[in-house]
Amino acid sequence: MSWHIESSRVEANTPQRQHALPFEVQNDKMLEVNLGIPGTNGEIMSYVWIKTGSMVAYRGQASFAREGMMEHGFGNMLKKALTDEGMTLTKASTKERAQVYVADYGKIVSVLRLQGDSIVVNGNDLLAFEPTVSHTITMMKKVSSIVSAGLYNVKLSGHGFIAILSHGHPISLIVGEGHPPVFTDPQATVAWSGNLKPEMKSDIQFKTLLGRGSGESFQMKFDGEKGAPGFVIVQPFEEIVSS
């Protein structure tokens, strides 16, 4: 897994400007999606999946359509119904070339590139991904009863660019053999390597000491001794998703 931030200053975004990559980050908080150019697989990327409601502007001839109920399979439809979560996607497409600009409440945008591996992203923190990337909705056992607003995740696999969101600049923590386990607050956890299998750990004393009603009393435990090495991405903010 290689993950990096494709950040750049907002320079003259004119029609003459060259667009080399499918995803380009503008001033940390805006993602520019370049439709109609070769995607990761070398074929013309005529559409992309974005978080519904995230489009703020576009240049060129582009159209937008919310995903159909069965567009990503019966399994994903059923999981959405059971978790009562609203990770609704929108297909942004063009028959020519277009630039689509997406953002979400001023959050930091980070671009990652999957190269045949996978990553699990908090459903609320997924901004966009190439059509060459497949996704499935997952739910950790017992999490819905632990976190008041529920917690659903999206596992992305394959080859292609994806864009994730965070409140503030995120950090990446290495998980692997020879390293101590990593514990994170579920509401500050943005994403982790798809090969990792986190466990939930309760710490009542920690909750009592801090006087907090949620978050720190439960942690996600990532143990590299139980599988291949990976990483966890966390943000400097506890995100409580309103139900």
| pLDDT tens-place string over residues 79-135 | 444 444 446 899 999 999 999 999 999 999 999 999 999 999 999 999 999 999 999
* Residue 241 confidence class, pLDDT cut points 50, 70, 90: low
How much is the mean pLDDT over the chain?
Answer: 82
Which are the contacts of 192, defined by CB distance < 8 A and separation ≥ 6?
A: 119, 120, 175, 198, 222, 230, 231, 232, 233
pLDDT digits (tens, 9 = 90+) for 141-172: 555 445 444 467 999 999 999 999 999 999 99
pLDDT (mean) for 19-40: 94
Q: Between these two residues, 188 and 215, which has the higher pLDDT value?
A: 188
Residue 57 pLDDT more than 80? yes
- Helix (H) / strand (E) element for 90: namely strand 89-93
- The region of weakest confidence among 17-31, 36-50, 53-67 is 17-31
- Helix (H) / strand (E) element for 215: namely none
Q: What is the pLDDT of residue 162?
A: 98
- The region of weakest confidence among 65-79, 105-119, 170-184 is 65-79
Tokens representing 161 are 């660019």
CATH 3.60.160.10 fits 2-168, yes or no: yes
* Residue 205 confidence class, pLDDT cut points 50, 70, 90: low
Closest CA to 166 of 106, 117, 229: 106
* Residue 53 confidence class, pLDDT cut points 50, 70, 90: very high
Q: What is the pLDDT of residue 18?
A: 63
Phi, psi dihedrals of residue 78, rounded to the nearest 5°: -65, -40
Q: What is the pLDDT of residue 112?
A: 97
pLDDT (mean) for 177-199: 92
Residue 26 pLDDT more than 80? yes
Q: What is the pLDDT of residue 71?
A: 53
Q: What is the pLDDT of residue 81?
A: 43
Cα 234 from Cα 105, distance rounded (Å)? 18
Q: Which parts of 123-241 are beta strand (E)?
A: 126-129, 133-138, 153-166, 171-175, 182-184, 189-193, 199-202, 218-222, 230-234
Q: What is the pLDDT of residue 44?
A: 97
